[in-house]
Structure 1
Amino acid sequence: MGGEGTKVFTLTEVSQHSKSKDCWLIIDGKVYDVTKFMDDHPGGDEVLLTSTGKDATDDFEDVGHSSSARAMLDEYYIGEIDLSTIPARTQYTPPKQPQNNQDKSSGFIVKLLKFLVPLLILGVAIGIRFHFHNKSA
């Protein structure tokens, strides 16, 4: 595979085959026409359809396919992907977090309220009790 006479496809070409009656996948730089396998795929055809139009290697590997499933790929092999047509993987960069010391006063106020509000409720309850206790005496 990959020698002379091997068909080389662009991502655009492969992306045009993204329906249940015409489905191609890219796995490890190889292009597979899995249309005939759609009805037999244990995970259903929807799983395969969500992997079209991109490099599906990670999707394939994440599932943990058996060696027999990997061997089945040979049956559906139709060519290679032109790697220059696949966008480079972008590394996830988390958004910058604001500095923790932006407004310490609001944190202090919240802690103070967590302490004072229960005390205030307790004080009101005690006041009401004494008020009604003194009236009945």
Structure 2
Amino acid sequence: MGDEGKIFSLAQVSEHNTSKDCWLVINGKVYDVTKFLEDHPGGDDVLLSATGKDATDDFEDVGHSSSARAMLDDFLVGEIDTSTFPVKQKYSPPKQPHYNQDKTSEFIIKLLQFLVPLAILGLAFGIHLYSKST
């Protein structure tokens, strides 16, 4: 659109919050989606409700297609000022040790090796008490 190199603050973006002038922030980039409001499959309310905030989570949660992601390029007007509005980093879970099922199996075997003889001893004691009482 010609303004792709511009940097906008969140305050500037949030001023564009009507059906005649609607801007969104997705992944640190600012998009003027005004011309797309009528064509948006989810309706214009969805887009209008996302103005004035980072709409990245809303956009990602829906699971947009690759063609929908490609359409964003047509609406790009600039980037958000990251000094006043830090862009969310993609979540990557912490590295955790691989789950080792063999260790779990070993624990269960050791537990059974303790409990089964205890149960047999309890059963034998119960039978012994029962036979004495009769």
TM-score by length of 2: 0.60
C-alpha RMSD of matched pairs (Å): 1.6
- Unaligned 5+ residue runs, structure 2? 89-134
Q: How many residues align?
A: 85
CA contact (8 A) 1:14 1:53 kept: yes
Aligned amino acid, residue 71 of structure 2? M
Question: Matched residues in 2 for 1:71 and 1:88: separation?
Answer: 20
Percentage identity across paired residues of the two chains: 72
Aligned pair 1:34/2:67, yes or no? no
CA contact (8 A) 1:26 1:81 kept: yes
Which residue of structure 1 lines up, in the alignment, with residue 45 of structure 2? 46
Question: Matched residues in 2 for 1:17 and 1:88: separation?
Answer: 19
Aligned amino acid, residue 32 of structure 2? D
Aligned amino acid, residue 10 of structure 2? L
Which residue of structure 2 lines up, in the alignment, with residue 76 of structure 1? 75
Q: Where has structure 1 moved over 4 Å in runs of 4 or more?
A: none
TM-score by length of 1: 0.59
Aligned pair 1:8/2:18, yes or no? no
Which residue of structure 2 lines up, in the alignment, with residue 19 of structure 1? 18
CA contact (8 A) 2:28 2:87 kept: no
Which residue of structure 2 lines up, in the alignment, with residue 94 of structure 1? none
- Unaligned 5+ residue runs, structure 1? 90-137
Which residue of structure 2 lines up, in the alignment, with residue 104 of structure 1? none
